A and B are shown apart, each in its own frame.
Chain A
């Protein structure tokens, strides 16, 4: 109240500036500053020089400008800078260990006959360089096995074996292997340099992709996978960062074939690297079971989900929790996240994400063919029909359902019993279900096929079955049954059921 009681002096002002902001400023000094002009300006000088105050205003006020034409807002929206956390120490020491002195000052170094220009990427397995083939005069990408693994005989053999196997896959949607060199201190393989970005980068940048893009990229990846599977090679690491999108042409290329196999190597756990994302693993991989080509189909399903939703289907705080989600839960239906996408795309993806390998598409080739038809349908809806698989909820097979039920435990059987009663009722009981002829007519061919199969496998033959029931009606029940099976699975997994309201 009586400011003059405090003598004007720098010391308390200086203290005031340094004091923790969350503590109350001493009342007598605050009062003093209510009126004392001298101490106000003195404190401002103690805080910073006039030039600093001016610079702060110039840069922090809304009108501040920098490089012309480059929007900072765009940059911040992408949030790219957050990802620039280089594992500098690891990359740098790897670079030093695997490269020879550069032949030109602007180059990073040499390996074999290749002039290495820069690092494209690095991970636990090794490091990828952009380089120049001095003999063939073309840019290449070189993947070098991490030096700490190069001394490990089994990792080395694996690298060589997988690289040679991958080199045998020649396909327009698979990144070719030009050369494999395993003799030197650092084994490496040489691939063409693809100018473009990875699918991961595309999703990070743009979020969910459009329907045609999703179909095209998935179809091409499936075709590439089919070529590999035909060689007996399982990729094991299908994920967006392993799918390259070439600039200027609509071409997706699958890369990093089979190399993921070396990830099983126990020595990797000692490298100190984060083992990478398990988000695209299949349930059988997550459990550590043996995998076959159908594991890649699940992973591709997760990739399709990520393209449609902008994020992977199974997410959690820790790698372990992700693995649990993969094995135990159903992802949120895509249409709840991205309602613009057609229902059938969700069905194709759920079909791929079936927990049991036997209930997925039978092969990558089948998937590629289906997606091709889907794409044709989207591009020419009147002349190209949607493929059969997309029009049923899940591909129904009595055998598959039985097996699925058998895999579940008693709790499910309790539900399965009334379900079986319902099936019997459907076949033996009176007609209760009105048909929608426009819808069912489309399903006729497959319905007939399914009913034949059901007859052989799961339906006990009974003389009283009325075979005059239309195939379409049976199909309609097959659909219901498949839907029920899905619900049972969801109940089992304690996932909230998709609300019926969003289903068309």
Chain B
């Protein structure tokens, strides 16, 4: 696995204009797919419906990403995505009641109407979920790109709360190397995460 070079970090969303750029689409789907899925689940959809929503959302993105990118005031990609997800999830909830006979569409409608105006809350949640998703995705990539001991040094000092000296003793490396390792991981993590921070 190799990390994308830094000069591509803002271009991932731009690359979506080319529907044949499978590398870009795969990367975007890996990070945003689960996000949209969980967002749809959060809106009361069953897993199978939520999967439909993912398919639909990204089909919609493919159709209109160019138009969106051409807007002067387009905002963040994930806000746009949240809006699409919301519309499609509502569409699915109201138009495609699951359950057929004996489990009517009223359930879906009831769930929809029972929801208090969720927009403020949901976009904050969505942001938090996005951050979680991006960092975990980035972590798995960085972890694959560095030595195991390097990742461990970061993990133990920064996530487990061990001191640098404890970590050095446990991993059998010098104190200086613990500091090098954890900073290396963090700097790579930041680079990978940056790819998903789309500018205005």
Contact partner, B96, options A33, A80, A130, Cβ 8 Å? A130
Q: Which residues of B contact A467 (CB under 8 A)?
A: none
Q: Is B109 engaged at the interface, CB distance under 8 Å to the other chain?
A: no
0 or 1 for each of B180-200: is its CB under 8 Å from A? (1 = yes): 101110110110010000000
Cβ–Cβ contact A66 & B99, under 8 A: no
Q: Which residues of B contact A78 (CB under 8 A)?
A: 47
Q: Is B72 engaged at the interface, CB distance under 8 Å to the other chain?
A: no
Interface size on A, residues (CB 8 A): 67
Q: Is A59 engaged at the interface, CB distance under 8 Å to the other chain?
A: yes
0 or 1 for each of A7-47: is its CB under 8 Å from B? (1 = yes): 00000000011110110010001111110000010011011
Q: Is A64 engaged at the interface, CB distance under 8 Å to the other chain?
A: yes
Q: Is A52 engaged at the interface, CB distance under 8 Å to the other chain?
A: yes
**CB-CB under 8 A for A57 and B176, given A21-B147, A118-B56, A195-B97:** no
Q: Is A53 engaged at the interface, CB distance under 8 Å to the other chain?
A: yes
Q: Is A196 engaged at the interface, CB distance under 8 Å to the other chain?
A: yes
Cβ–Cβ contact B158 & A53, under 8 A: yes
Closest to B164 in A: A40
- In the complex, what distance in Å separates the CA atom of A447 from the CA atom of B30? 60
Cβ–Cβ contact B95 & A248, under 8 A: no
Q: Which residues of A contact B38 (CB under 8 A)?
A: 66-67, 70, 72, 75
Cβ–Cβ contact B190 & A52, under 8 A: yes
**CB-CB under 8 A for A33 and B180, given A48-B187, A59-B136, A247-B99:** yes
Q: Shortest Cβ distance from A358 into chain B, in angstroms?
A: 40
Contact partner, B63, options A22, A81, A92, A247, Cβ 8 Å? A92
Interface residues of A in 48-94 (CB under 8 A from B): 48, 52-53, 55-62, 64-67, 69-70, 72, 75, 78, 80-81, 84-86, 88-89, 91-93
Cβ–Cβ contact A139 & B96, under 8 A: yes
0 or 1 for each of B87-110: is its CB under 8 Å from A? (1 = yes): 110010001111111110000000
- In the complex, what distance in Å separates the CA atom of A141 from the CA atom of B197? 39
**CB-CB under 8 A for A195 and B96, given A33-B180, A66-B38, A119-B56:** yes
Q: Which residues of B contact A57 (CB under 8 A)?
A: 158-159
Cβ–Cβ contact A92 & B19, under 8 A: yes
0 or 1 for each of B44-83: is its CB under 8 Å from A? (1 = yes): 0001100110111011001100000000000000000000
Q: Which residues of B contact A106 (CB under 8 A)?
A: 87, 91
Q: Shortest Cβ distance from A81 into chain B, in angstroms?
A: 5
Q: Is B26 engaged at the interface, CB distance under 8 Å to the other chain?
A: yes
- In the complex, what distance in Å separates the CA atom of A195 from the CA atom of B29? 26
- In the complex, what distance in Å separates the CA atom of A332 from the CA atom of B144? 35
Contact partner, B102, options A70, A93, A248, Cβ 8 Å? A248
Q: Is B170 engaged at the interface, CB distance under 8 Å to the other chain?
A: no
**CB-CB under 8 A for A30 and B100, given A47-B190, A72-B38:** no
- In the complex, what distance in Å separates the CA atom of A247 from the CA atom of B47? 13
Cβ–Cβ contact A48 & B189, under 8 A: yes
Q: Shortest Cβ distance from A161 into chain B, in angstroms?
A: 31
0 or 1 for each of B12-41: is its CB under 8 Å from A? (1 = yes): 000000011010011001100110011101
**CB-CB under 8 A for A47 and B186, given A81-B29, A84-B54:** yes
Q: Which residues of B contact A118 (CB under 8 A)?
A: 52, 55-56, 59, 88, 91
Contact partner, B180, options A16, A48, A53, Cβ 8 Å? A16
- In the complex, what distance in Å separates the CA atom of A56 from the CA atom of B98? 39
Cβ–Cβ contact A66 & B125, under 8 A: yes
Contact partner, B150, options A21, A32, A62, A247, Cβ 8 Å? A21
- In the complex, what distance in Å separates the CA atom of A93 from the CA atom of B63? 9
**CB-CB under 8 A for A81 and B132, given A44-B183, A247-B99:** no
Cβ–Cβ contact A117 & B96, under 8 A: yes
Cβ–Cβ contact A33 & B179, under 8 A: yes
Contact partner, B184, options A17, A60, A92, Cβ 8 Å? A17
Contact partner, A84, options B29, B47, B62, B139, Cβ 8 Å? B29
**CB-CB under 8 A for A249 and B136, given A30-B176, A92-B19:** no
Contact partner, B145, options A21, A55, A72, Cβ 8 Å? A21
Cβ–Cβ contact A60 & B139, under 8 A: yes
Cβ–Cβ contact B37 & A75, under 8 A: yes
**CB-CB under 8 A for A85 and B41, given A21-B147, A95-B59:** no
Cβ–Cβ contact A195 & B99, under 8 A: yes
Cβ–Cβ contact B41 & A119, under 8 A: no
Q: Shortest Cβ distance from B45 into chain A, in angstroms?
A: 11
Q: Which residues of A contact B134 (CB under 8 A)?
A: 59
Q: Which residues of A contact B48 (CB under 8 A)?
A: 197, 201
Contact partner, B98, options A40, A65, A120, A195, Cβ 8 Å? A195
Q: Which residues of B contact A31 (CB under 8 A)?
A: 174, 176
Q: Which residues of B contact A201 (CB under 8 A)?
A: 48
- Could you pull out 24 A-B pairs where Cβ atoms are within 8 angstroms? A19-B184, A21-B145, A29-B180, A30-B176, A30-B177, A43-B180, A44-B179, A44-B183, A47-B187, A56-B158, A59-B131, A59-B132, A61-B159, A66-B132, A67-B38, A75-B37, A80-B51, A81-B30, A85-B22, A91-B59, A118-B55, A195-B100, A247-B100, A248-B100
List 4 additional contacts besides A56-B186, A86-B25, A247-B103; criterion CB under 8 Å. Answer: A64-B132, A72-B38, A195-B99, A196-B100
Q: Which residues of B contact A (CB under 8 A)?
A: 19-20, 22, 25-26, 29-30, 33-34, 37-39, 41-42, 47-48, 51-52, 54-56, 58-59, 62-63, 87-88, 91, 95-103, 125, 128-129, 131-132, 134-136, 139, 145-147, 150, 158-159, 174-177, 179-180, 182-184, 186-187, 189-190, 193
